[in-house]
Copies of this chain bind each other. A is one copy, B any other.
Amino acid sequence: MLASGSMLPVTDTTDLRERRRLATRADIETAALDLFTRQGSDRTTVDEIAAAAGVSPRTFFRYFPTKEDAALGTNRAFDTAIATRVRGPVTLPEIVDAVAATLGEFDGAPIDRLLQVRCLLNHDDNLRRAALRMEAERCWEVHGDLRTRVMNETVNVAMRAALDEWATHRAAGEDADLVEIFREVCAIQSRMFDGFLMKRAS
């Protein structure tokens, strides 16, 4: 056979084995998402997901630490994508831009899947808990100073609320722009603090 790697066109950037791994991973994710959508995550067992994906239950756990994680890949990818764009201390408008840019690079199939996941999250309590846990763990890992942490989590609240609102509207068939909604949510937060600092100066 041909030596893979350097001379082949960069179709998928990975060697054969890795491509298989990614494929199985995707299979499991799809199966989980499908089953969760139909029966809810708490009515679905790992054995079912594994069977639907054509792997053994043991293998399932080699790809995902918990059954909930199997459905949250896209969600995690989105968070990560935003996080990598927001490094160090930044202003709120910069974050809004980062969200917009990230949304742009997710356009197409990924955005559909993200929508699907977020819709699921709005109805599936168990899954929502898991998503919250992932989010919290990410925040906890950062371990910066108080200011960094508070800013991080405050933005997270806005992002989560915006995603939920966005998913709700889209699920109802309406049109909705995530960036616009995110801006609105930030505005709500902003109004909370109107005059809060002034008061102490006077």
Binding site for B on A (CB under 8 A): 92-93, 125, 128-129, 132-133, 136-137, 140, 146-147, 149-151, 153-154, 156-158, 160-161, 165, 184-194, 196-197, 199
Q: Which residue of chain B lies nearest to A156 when distances are taken between CB atoms in the complex?
A: B157
Partner of A197, one of B146, B157, B191, B199: B191
Cα distance A191–B146 when bound, in Å? 14
Cα distance A158–B189 when bound, in Å? 12
Chain B neighbourhood of A93, CB < 8 A: 196, 199
B196 touches A154 (CB 8 A): no
Interface of A, secondary structure class, is helix
Oligomeric state, in copies: 2
Q: Distance (Å) between the CB of A185 and the closest chain B CB?
A: 6
B197 touches A151 (CB 8 A): no
Chain B neighbourhood of A161, CB < 8 A: 146, 149-150, 153
Please judge, given known A-B contacts A146-B165, A150-B185, A154-B157, whether A192 and B92 are in contact too, CB under 8 Å. yes
